[in-house]
Amino acid sequence: MKIIIGLGNPGKQYLGTRHNAGFEFLDKLKNKLDFPEFEFSKKFNAETSEGMIMGVELPFGSSTPTPKTFLVKPQTFMNLSGESVKNILDFYKLSPDDILIIHDDKDIALGEYRVVTDSSSAGHNGVQDVIDKLGTQKFRRVRIGIGAETNLPSEVFVLQKFSEEEFKKIEKVLDEVLEEVKKYF
């Protein structure tokens, strides 16, 4: 079983904000894989969509079946994301090696991304909560750049909506990240 977790904040008021880049990616991936709509799981306090990826040429480049895959959007708000992640790993008796976390990163330029394993949170509170709850930072992450060339405090900047031009750059990088996710399987 593989679990892809997008970090963000629940609620309509946060749609299209910089901090919800992880949720935006999962929506794109769900549509690409033709997975079912996200449904709320009280057990995990998360929206989940699950499926098997079989005979799919894109985006995974293989027609062999892959393990059951869960797409997860924690509904705990960003800074408490580790609660949902830990609940899922404990329930399915999985390890941090079985997860891939997708999140925003203000220290990376808009339109760029980085893939890291065994890396500190770099000040990202949602990632830090996952590290704290799991007791390790040894898991894979895709850090999606949201830029930070502003005089605004971080907590204000990350909750701003992308401009139309910025969102086009995010859409492009999300397509690139889809290619990166292939390596996860």
CATH at residue 45: 3.40.50.1470
Give kind and range of the element (H or E) at residue 165. Answer: helix 164-181
pLDDT of residue 52: 80
Please name the residues in contact with 93: beta carbons below 8 A apart, sequence gap of 6 or more. none
pLDDT of residue 55: 45
pLDDT averaged per 10 residues, the chain (length 185) = 94 94 93 92 97 54 66 96 97 94 94 93 95 97 87 89 90 85 70
pLDDT of residue 73: 98
Domain that holds residue 135: 2-184
Cis peptide leading into residue 67 (ω within 30°): no
pLDDT of residue 34: 87
Q: Which one of the listed residues 2, 19, 73, 141 is annotated catalytic?
A: 19
**φ, ψ (nearest 5 deg) of residue 160:** -80, 150
pLDDT of residue 108: 93
pLDDT of residue 64: 54
pLDDT of residue 16: 92
pLDDT of residue 57: 43
Give the CA distances from residue 34 to residues 20, 37, 100, in Å, rounded to whole numbers and listed in that order. Answer: 21, 9, 19
Q: Is 84 exposed, middle or buried (0-12, 13-18, 19+ CB in 10 A)?
A: buried
- For residues 60 and 64, give the distance between their C-alpha atoms in angstroms, rounded to a whole number: 10
pLDDT of residue 58: 38
Domains identified in the chain, total number? 1
19 noted as active-site residue: yes
